[in-house]
């Protein structure tokens, strides 16, 4: 039975309730995606774009291909691939449908294992089952203070990202990050077990898990500086080289695992304060126009003092606003001097500092705001220490009545954004569907041709990730966002296609040169260029036409 042997009988019910409630709150945000409705297959939030992007990559991995599914002829680059590789392996072994694995099975396993390892690690670090259960609560259901903004006439209807950082309830809008969480937590837990009483099997297991973490989510590389520091300290204090060897081997394996998709380019842009400024002024964030105008006035007058005051104020709002009730972590951090495993506490706190500060200075060279994802791990570790802080706070409350009242207040102040996020998503129908006409067209492509076939899509420039996800075929130019993220020159290829279309005679040569077998058209705007003896209509349904290029 889950919980038997790792938790006392008096706390077992609370363990069950917390892990079930927390897991349910997370998986309910992804479960409805991929289900049938009257209009077609429905997808919620980021699942229509990001989720189907991962499915498209899985389909490539299933066919042992590392090609970018929406940028034909180029391999995946700048990409953490392990979560998709895992789905592909599970599919190959079990033959369970990829969509079921990705949208149903994997989230359930991730959430349950996250709760399990949060409890084990927190119990080990804080020597308290109650603190560990509270840590689980904050990791699952902790959220920000955005629900206070409407009282000041500020904010955006989606409270969750008013301070920029997405909260744990929406973890599955970023599957690589979601999978990296139990991997990182389990690695740190086994390292803690090793330091409790050296057993090499724990150290090896920890090393293997941490080595695959960057291939799951590259931002986990930020754990290595802290690991390096505690390794050197162990050499200096105890004359032991075990952690230094552990660090070196883990880092080497992690780099080797990242090499297949590594592109050596400038991944980050130095832009200090960008998140703070946009959080204040953006209409879909705090939308605090008064302070935005003040900033412009201070800047135009080169008022350094007030500019510094603006950024300090914005940082405090960003920091405390995102933490929400996880500010209780400061109580936990203040009291850690009496706790065991100082090396692990240093690793978590030093890494948290780096992860929190880095986005304040750097943006991503692809999608600028991607660096905000570093802050996700800061909130994760803050949730763990918030559990300990809450435990201390409640222990210092004199009567049972006040203790229960305080616990209820902490819970009630933690979950308003979670409730609003759930309501915002499901109080209205989703606008993202794969229609049944599209499914019929995709089925035609599935039955005909090979998985390695390339498909040119019209309208040029539109996103056709869903075609790649449902057919397993490669879209020649399928999505601008993913092309930029993976380091490909989207604009150059777009211009090449448009030039070939304008030449008419050169269009067929272009198709042949790039081995394009299918043309998928949902507009008919290029119908004239498709009137060619070597381009034959193969399928037509509604506004969808599929043409086969005969070489």
Local confidence band at 287 (pLDDT 50, 70, 90 cut-offs): very high
Pairing of strands 516-521, 454-458: parallel
- For 17-56, how does the pLDDT look when each residue is reduced to its tens digit (9 = 90+)? 999 999 999 999 999 999 998 889 999 888 999 999 999 9
Residue 265: is its pLDDT beyond 60? no
CB distance 393 to 385 below 8 Å: no
pLDDT of residue 354: 95
Residue 310: is its pLDDT beyond 90? yes
CA separation for the pair 26, 23 (Å, rounded): 5
- For 432-455, how does the pLDDT look when each residue is reduced to its tens digit (9 = 90+)? 899 999 999 999 999 998 888 999
Local confidence band at 505 (pLDDT 50, 70, 90 cut-offs): confident
CB distance 223 to 229 below 8 Å: no
Residue listed under structure tokens 């603190």: 131
Residue 502: is its pLDDT beyond 90? no
**Mean pLDDT, to the nearest integer, of 528-533?**
72
Residue 94: is its pLDDT beyond 60? yes
pLDDT of residue 457: 92
pLDDT of residue 17: 95
Local confidence band at 527 (pLDDT 50, 70, 90 cut-offs): low
Print the SS3 string covering 289-358.
Answer: HHHHHHHHHHHHCCCHHHHHHHHHHHHHHHHHHHHHHHHHHHHHHHCHHHCCCHHHHHHHHHHHHHHHHH
Local confidence band at 1 (pLDDT 50, 70, 90 cut-offs): very low
Q: How high does pLDDT run on average in the chain?
A: 91
More confident residue, 198 or 390: 390
Residue 352: is its pLDDT beyond 80? yes
DSSP three-state, residue 543:
coil
Local confidence band at 2 (pLDDT 50, 70, 90 cut-offs): low
Most confident of 25-39, 248-262, 319-333, 520-534: 319-333
CB proximity list for 345: less than 8 A, separation 6 or greater: 125, 336, 339
Residue 468: is its pLDDT beyond 90? yes
Residue 8: is its pLDDT beyond 90? no
Structure tokens belonging to residue 84: 């998709």
Local confidence band at 379 (pLDDT 50, 70, 90 cut-offs): very high
pLDDT of residue 259: 82
More confident residue, 225 or 551: 225
Residue 86: is its pLDDT beyond 60? yes
Q: What is the pTM of this model?
A: 0.93
Q: What is the percent of the chain where pLDDT is above 90?
A: 72
Residue 3: is its pLDDT beyond 60? no
> 533: burial class by Cβ within 10 Å (0-12, 13-18, 19+)?
exposed
Local confidence band at 365 (pLDDT 50, 70, 90 cut-offs): confident
Print the SS3 string covering 96-135.
Answer: CCHHHHHHHHHHHHHHHHHHHHHHHHHHHHHCCHHHHHHH
């Amino acid at each position: 039975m889950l919980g038997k042997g790792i938790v006392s009988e008096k706390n077992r019910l609370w363990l069950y309730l917390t892990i079930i409630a927390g897991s349910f709150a997370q998986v309910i945000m992804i479960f409805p995606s991929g289900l049938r409705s009257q209009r077609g297959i429905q997808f919620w939030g980021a699942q229509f774009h990001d989720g189907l992007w991962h499915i498209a990559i899985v389909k490539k991995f299933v066919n042992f291909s590392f090609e970018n599914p929406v940028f034909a002829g180029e391999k995946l680059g700048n990409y953490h691939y392990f979560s998709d590789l895992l789905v592909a392996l599970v599919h190959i072994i079990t033959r369970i449908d990829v969509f079921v694995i990705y949208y149903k099975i994997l989230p359930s396993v991730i959430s349950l294992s996250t709760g399990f390892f949060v409890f084990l690690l927190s119990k080990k670090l804080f020597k308290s089952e109650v603190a560990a259960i509270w840590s689980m609560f904050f990791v699952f259901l902790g959220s920000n203070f955005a629900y206070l903004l409407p009282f000041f006439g500020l904010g955006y209807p989606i409270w969750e990202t008013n301070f920029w950082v997405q909260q744990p309830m929406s973890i599955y809008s970023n599957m690589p990050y979601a999978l990296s969480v139990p991997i990182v937590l389990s690695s740190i837990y086994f390292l803690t077990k090793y330091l409790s009483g050296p057993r090499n099997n724990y150290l090896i297991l920890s090393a293997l898990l941490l080595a695959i973490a960057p291939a799951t989510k590259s931002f986990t590389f930020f754990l290595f500086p802290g690991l390096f520091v505690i390794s050197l300290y162990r050499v200096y204090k105890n004359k032991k080289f075990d952690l230094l060897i552990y660090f070196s081997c883990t880092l080497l394996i992690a780099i080797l695992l990242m090499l297949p998709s590594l592109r050596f380019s400038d991944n980050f842009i130095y832009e200090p304060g960008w998140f703070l400024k946009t959080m204040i002024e953006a209409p879909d964030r705090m939308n605090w126009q008064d302070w935005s105008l003040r900033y412009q006035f201070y800047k135009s007058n080169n008022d350094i003092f007030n500019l510094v005051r603006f950024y300090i104020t914005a940082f405090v709002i960003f920091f405390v606003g995102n933490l929400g009730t996880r500010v209780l972590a400061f109580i936990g951090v203040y009291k850690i001097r009496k706790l065991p495993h100082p090396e692990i506490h240093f690793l978590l706190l030093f890494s948290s500092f780096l992860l929190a500060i880095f986005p304040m200075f750097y943006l991503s060279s692809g999608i600028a705001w991607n660096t905000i994802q570093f802050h996700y791990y800061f909130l994760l570790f803050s949730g763990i220490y918030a559990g300990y802080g809450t435990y201390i706070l409640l222990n210092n409350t004199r009567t049972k009545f006040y203790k229960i009242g305080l616990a209820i207040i902490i819970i009630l102040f933690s979950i308003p954004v979670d409730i609003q996020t759930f309501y915002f998503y499901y109080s209205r129908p989703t606008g993202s569907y794969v229609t049944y006409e599209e499914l019929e067209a995709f089925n035609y492509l599935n039955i005909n041709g090979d998985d390695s076939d390339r498909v040119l899509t019209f309208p040029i420039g539109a996103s056709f990730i869903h075609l790649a996800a449902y057919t397993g075929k490669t879209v020649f130019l399928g999505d601008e966002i993913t092309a930029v993220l993976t380091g490909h020159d989207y604009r150059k290829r777009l211009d090449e296609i448009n030039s070939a279309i304008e030449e008419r005679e050169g269009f067929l040569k272009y198709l042949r040169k790039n081995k394009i077998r299918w043309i998928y058209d949902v507009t008919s705007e290029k119908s004239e260029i498709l009137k060619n003896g070597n381009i034959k209509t193969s399928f037509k349904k509604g506004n969808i036409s599929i043409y086969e290029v005969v070489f």
